Amino acid sequence: MTTIAPEDTAREAVFDATVAADERIEPRDWMPDAYRSTLVRQIAQHAHSEIIGMQPEANWITRAPSLRRKAILMAKVQDEAGHGLYLYSAAETLGTSRDELLDKLHSGRQKYSSIFNYPTLTWADVGAIGWLVDGAAITNQVPLCRCSYGPYARAMVRVCKEESFHQRQGYELLLTLSRGTDAQHAMAQDAVNRWWWPSLMMFGPPDDESSHSAQSMAWKIKRHSNDELRQRFVDICVPQAEALGLTLPDPDLTWNDKRGHWEFGPIDWAEFREVLKGNGPCNEERISRRRQAHEEGAWVRDAAAAHAAKHGKASR
Ligand code: 3HC
């Protein structure tokens, strides 16, 4: 339980009443330290995920099969960078700094989404990422538009608009391949086979193993549990896979009329825990590429700081 100094008791009552009334907590409002720190944790890791998430798809920009596809992919990867910047800005309103958060990412003290530790082996992976990964992100991020912390909720409104384009272009890419030659259909099916289960892991561990959910939901940071959103995503994807002419790699998928949901098979949580420990297929590659990009970008940050100092603007 959060310990509150006596003089904060009245302010805690205001905080609780604001959250209970579904109103927003803003940066200058009083908030429990634990509310602040869990927001920094979640928003920072969300931002890290956006920035690291640029790598798997950027891998295919130079190899896109047409100028149209290249332009779409470049726009998407650029959007992800922007999402990261919105989210770092939202985290900074809580009194942390971008430098501090990036240092925690680079030193492994903060995470990014497990999904980005998988390789993009073929062009179809770009479609599977758009359809499944961005689709899962939308399912997770739409409720965050109603998060009790104002800057995070507002960042999510714009992010979700752009995610819808990301998901749509991925779906269309897969549909084109699925309706193409046998080899193209097989490539699309192979990508879905590899990205389906890791996409379900994006929603976090099962509710009974989620260390943060109960408190995050009490503070209306999270509006639904990990399992609720995972189920919502499965229910969305099953009919879409049918329309794509592709099969989801889960023989246990069955419609449960009583529950009104698709039942699905067991998720390999041992794999999830291994990836979180850093033992996924691409963990080392992703984080060393990130550190290298940060080091190579030092001159830009220094130049911007020198320019700001000379022209008297706020530091970067
Ligand atoms: N990958 C990495 N870590 C994960 C994870 C995942 N898929 N799921 C859970 N975790 C971590 C949590 O961060 C927490 O560790 P920590 O205490 O060190 O932070 C631990 O596992 C326990 O999980 P909880 O469920 O208790 O943690 P949360 O309540 O934070 O729930 C979450 C996890 C659902 C991912 C939540 O943090 C969340 O909704 N975050 C915002 C959305 C987000 O970060 N999405 C990541 C993908 S972004 C993306 O896809 C961009 C798109 O453009 C491609």
Better-predicted residue by pLDDT, 261 or 3: 261
> Which residue ranges make up each domain of the chain?
23-313
Q: Which atom of ligand 1 is nearest to the CA of 43?
A: 41
Give 316's pLDDT tier (boundaries 50, 70, 90).
Answer: very low
Rounded to the nearest whole angstrom, what is the distance from the C-alpha of residue 187 to the centroid of ligand 1? 29
Give 8's pLDDT tier (boundaries 50, 70, 90).
Answer: confident
pLDDT computed for residue 169 by the predictor: 97
Quote the mean pLDDT of the chain.
96
Rounded to the nearest whole angstrom, what is the distance from the C-alpha of residue 102 to the centroid of ligand 1? 17
Alpha helices by DSSP H, the chain: 9-20, 33-52, 54-58, 67-92, 98-106, 124-128, 134-144, 150-178, 182-201, 213-218, 226-244, 269-274, 283-296, 298-310
211 lines ligand 1 (CB under 6 A): yes
**What percent of the chain has pLDDT above 90?**
95
Nearest CA to ligand 1 atom 11: 204
Nearest CA to ligand 1 atom 7: 202
Residue of 144, 156, 145, 149 whose CA lies nearest to 28:
149
Which CATH architecture group holds 23-313? Up-down Bundle (1.20)
Rounded to the nearest whole angstrom, what is the distance from the C-alpha of residue 273 to the centroid of ligand 1? 13
Give 312's pLDDT tier (boundaries 50, 70, 90).
Answer: confident
139 lines ligand 1 (CB under 6 A): no
d(CA 69, CA 133): 18
